[in-house]
Amino acid sequence: MSDSERGLLQWLERVFFGGMELSFLSTPAFAVVVFLQQLYPDAASLSGLFAIGAGSVAIAAFRGGSVDTGAWPRRSELSSMPLRVGYFSVLFFAASMGVALVVVTLDSWWLTLLGAVVQVAGLAAFPSVYRAVHGDPLKRPARRV
């Protein structure tokens, strides 16, 4: 396997795990959006899909260091779970239902793309919020017990 193939596989792995992290931690907002999407049926779905897709790629870029937004906590850091669940849920809700409200109000379906913009901008700000609450992320790997 060549270095470029290995690099591509690592990138795809980061995108996959970024999507898993984002989807799992945003579950509370997903549940609310499922019930509230009847207010803006198509707009909420489209903006939410754009948010999850762009957010998965953004987390891969941020965690992989392609785009420097600051140090991210390890995925396994359980002490920050309440912050991450709350932050990612509020962010997804804003990126889906908030953008859907704007889309319906302005009657422009192109604005559903803002779901991606809101999600990526919010994710870029996450390391700063994390540092404000928990300090610098731990750099050492987790110990096996």
pLDDT tens-digit series, residues 20-55: 999 999 999 999 999 998 998 889 999 999 999 999
Question: Residue 25: CB partners within 8 Å, gap ≥ 6?
Answer: 84, 85, 88, 89
- Asked if pLDDT for residue 141 goes beyond 80, the answer is no
- Asked if pLDDT for residue 74 goes beyond 90, the answer is no
Rounded to whole angstroms, the Cα distance separating 51 from 56 reads 8
User: Could you tell me the pLDDT band of residue 121, with boundaries at 50, 70 and 90?
Assistant: very high
Residue 47 host element (H or E): helix 41-64
Question: Where do the structural domains in the chain lie, given as residue ranges?
Answer: 3-134
**Percent of the chain, pLDDT > 90?**
69
Burial bucket for residue 50 (CB in 10 Å: 0-12, 13-18, 19+) = buried
Give, rounded to a whole angstrom, the gap between the first and last alpha carbons of the chain: 35
Query: Are the C-beta atoms of residues 16 and 61 closer than 8 Å to each other?
Result: no
Cα dihedral 8, 72, 81, 128, rounded to 10, equals -140
